[in-house]
Structures are given as C-alpha cells and as structure tokens.
Structure 1
C-alpha cells in the first residue's frame, strides 16, 4: 500500500542509484508500481518530497541517541552520527543537507542540540550561535565527504595523485612552505579531517566556558 514512508524510502533508493537528476515523479511512480499522480496526493511537488527526504535522514541520525549529560561527548557522538548517515546516502546528502524542513525530526534535532549546549552552561544566545556553527560545520563536511564518496572514482584518484605528482615536485625556491610539508600533504590530504576538525571545535567551545 502506498504511503509517505514508502515514497520516501523509494526516493532515497532512486537517488542513490541514479543521482538527484534521476528522481522524477514519473520514475518514482514507476518504481512504486503506481501512477505518478498518486505521489502528488502525499507531496505537492518535488521540493516537498526533498524536504521529507532530508527529515528522514535526520530521523535516522537521531534514532536511538541518548544524551549522556557530558556535552562534549554528546556533540562528538552526534557529529559522527550525522556524518555517518550522510555518508551512507551520499547522493541524497549532496541534495538535502542544506535544506530547512521544519518537520518533526528536524525540530527534535534542533531542540536536542541546543539543549545540550544549554546544559553545558552556555547562555541562550551563545547556545544558538554555537548550534549554528556546529551544525554548519558537520553538514559542510557531510556534503564534502559525500561528494567524494559518490564522485567518479577515476577522477577522484587522479585528483588525489596530484598531491604526489604535482605538489611534491614543486621547486622549494618558489614554494618553500609547500616543499617543506610536501610529504605531509601527500599523506594528509587523502583523508577527511572531519574528526580532527570536530575536536578543534569542541576544544574551542570548552575554552569559552572557562
């Protein structure tokens, strides 16, 4: 039986198979075994469907999450969960991470994260500001790393090789700072700095409580 949940799940599958451009109401209807017009009884347009997809990913992120009362640990855990769910659906993440849904899962997520920051001792104004910074940081990395996961493998490999084949061979006289750290760049730039950046952010927040 057709339902909003079934439409959302099928849409996620289609995006991961064909990319965002492959998601159309006609293709979605065919995948559901229904006429495309049936989808419009649940979603007025594709934009509303994408908002539902975004909210579904948020819901999957927070499923089973239980705050421990240790604010840094909780934010670290949430950062990893958000990042992980987006990497599990890289093509969908690239389309929906910047959307504001106003839907139940998003409302609960915003309430939870601001609550963690308030519990840490931040004022309402600072809690909202730090929430904005935190979620923007995590979603930006989610979008970036999702793009890396879903991109053309040959192109990504060639771009990664650029650090070794171009940067490491640059003349020290013209590029002294790059030359000095060339081997480090080759080793570092192949990996996402997501976890390290989250730790820097949490340390900066902790310093503001002192």
Structure 2
C-alpha cells in the first residue's frame, strides 16, 4: 500500500465484492487478523487481502494508506476486544488484575497478530480509551497523577511484553513447543546435585512450572508493589 487514502465520508463501497460482501474497515481488519494467524506478516499484502475479500486490491486504499496503517488498526482491534469483554467493579487491584489477564488471553487467542503488534502505539480510539480507563482506575484509587502514570506504564508494558513473549511461544509449531517443554524433564531434571545443587533441589518444581506462563505471578507481584506504594502514600511514608 502507499500513502494515499480516501476520506472517511467517501469510503463506503456501494457494490458488494465478488463474494457478496460490502467492504468496511471492520471487515478488512477482521480478515487481516485471520490471514495473519494463517500466514504471518506476509498476510498484510494488498494482493492477498484483496483475494481473501473478493475485492479489487486497489479498493483497500479507500480505508488504509498502507500496510502499516492496517497493522495499527489490527493492534487497536486487539485492544478493543479486551475492553469490550471487561467490566470494572470498583476494586482497583481486582479490576487491573482482571484486565491484565484478559489482555494476555486476548493476545494468546491471536498470537501472530500479537507478536506483530504488541510493541506498537496506535493513537487510535481503543488505545486512547484503554489509556484513559487504566489511568482513571489508578487516580480513583488514590494514586497521585505522576505515580498513576508510572504504574500505568509498568502495568501496560508488562502485559504487552508477556503478550509478545507467550504469543511467540504459542505461535511455534506444536512439535517445537513440545520439544522445548521436554527440555526441563530431559535436561534440567537430570542434572546431578554435586554439580548443580540448586537446580537438582528444585527440579520437580522447574518441570511443573517452567512450561507455563509466569504472567499471572508477575502481574500479582506488580499489583502488590503498587498496593504497597499506595499504602505508603496514604500514611506519608512513601516519598
């Protein structure tokens, strides 16, 4: 794609595509997400998208300037799907934990798209809503503005980092995933105590724990630290 786009008011396609559907930004993003999971980054080509939509590839320029513009829309849609499934309760710590876990689960549901988009800043509607919402949760909890931003930053970066890490693992072919998990049993669990005493002592725990994501634990640690900072702010011991 190139840097040309039709104004929003002129984007609506009046006639159905060859497959009988009317193009929209939502349909293109949904199709792009499906193709990314099937083919990876190569899916974001005008020709492949046009073929999947049954549309002239040039018609995609009515909605997106170039493939990176489409990639940002995909990233924003992943955020939107998380927000649409989340309901706050008023308990800031429980709400952020629930939101973080939903962000992580949403990434694993679309692992290839998450790997490609987790590091992007979209500036689009869903991302703006997420920033507003999370900072609002923190400010309502009593965090001063600067502290709310710092915790927001740590919370989001942690969630996105684990989303990319665990999505990359999920996107591996199954034999590769199984081979990596087996390393903990085949290699680490067999290391002798006289040369590797700490690994040998904890081997059964390594075998049980390491194949799983550590995100829930990391998230709990972050929220515990944030709660401790908030308590310090309230009693005047945190400077």
Q: Give the TM bin, normalised by the shorter chain.
A: over 0.9
TM-score normalised over the length of structure 1: 0.96
Please say if 1:141 is aligned against 2:162. yes
For residue 48 of structure 1, what is the aligned residue in structure 2? 69
**Whole-Å separation in 2 of the counterparts to 1:153 and 1:24:** 27
Give, in angstroms, the shift of residue 137 of structure 1: 0.7
1:26 equivalent in alignment to 2:47? yes
Partner of 2:35: 14
Corresponding residue to 1:155 among 176, 184, 187: 176
Aligned partners of 2:43 and 2:49 also within 8 Å: no
The answer to whether the aligner puts 1:200 opposite 2:221 as a matched pair is: yes
Match of 1:188 among 194, 209, 212: 209
**1:29-50 superposed Cα distances (whole Å, 9 cap, x missing partner):** 1111111111112111110000
CA RMSD of aligned residues (A): 1.1
Asked which structure has the greater CA Rg, the reply is 2
Flag structure 2 segments of 5+ consecutive residues without an equivalent: 1-21, 232-239
Q: In the aligned structure 1, how far is the partner of 2:65 from the partner of 2:195?
A: 58
Distance 2:111 2:94 in 1: 25
Pick the aligned partner of 1:105 from 123, 126, 144: 126
Q: Is the 8 A contact 2:100 2:159 kept in 1?
A: yes
Distance 2:110 2:43 in 1: 15
Q: Which residue matches 2:148?
A: 127
Higher relative contact order (CA 8 A, sep 6+): 1
SS, match of residue 181 in structure 1 = helix
Partner of 1:73: 94
Per-residue deviation, residues 115-173 of structure 1 (Å, max 9, x unmatched): 11111111111100100100011111111221222111111111111111111111222
Q: How many residues align?
A: 210
Task: Tell me how far 1:109 sits from its aligned partner.
Answer: 0.3
Q: Which runs of 4+ in 1 moved over 3 A?
A: none
1:37 pairs, out of 58, 72, 76, with 58
Between Structure 1 and Structure 2, the one with more helix by share is: 1
For residues 165-196 of structure 1, the C-alpha deviation after alignment (integer angstroms, 9 at most, x for no partner) is 11111122221211111111111112112212
How many Å separate the matches in 2 of 1:142 and 1:64?
Answer: 17
| TM-score computed with the length of structure 2 as normaliser | 0.85
Q: What is the CA-CA distance between 1:65 and the residue it aligns to? A: 2.7
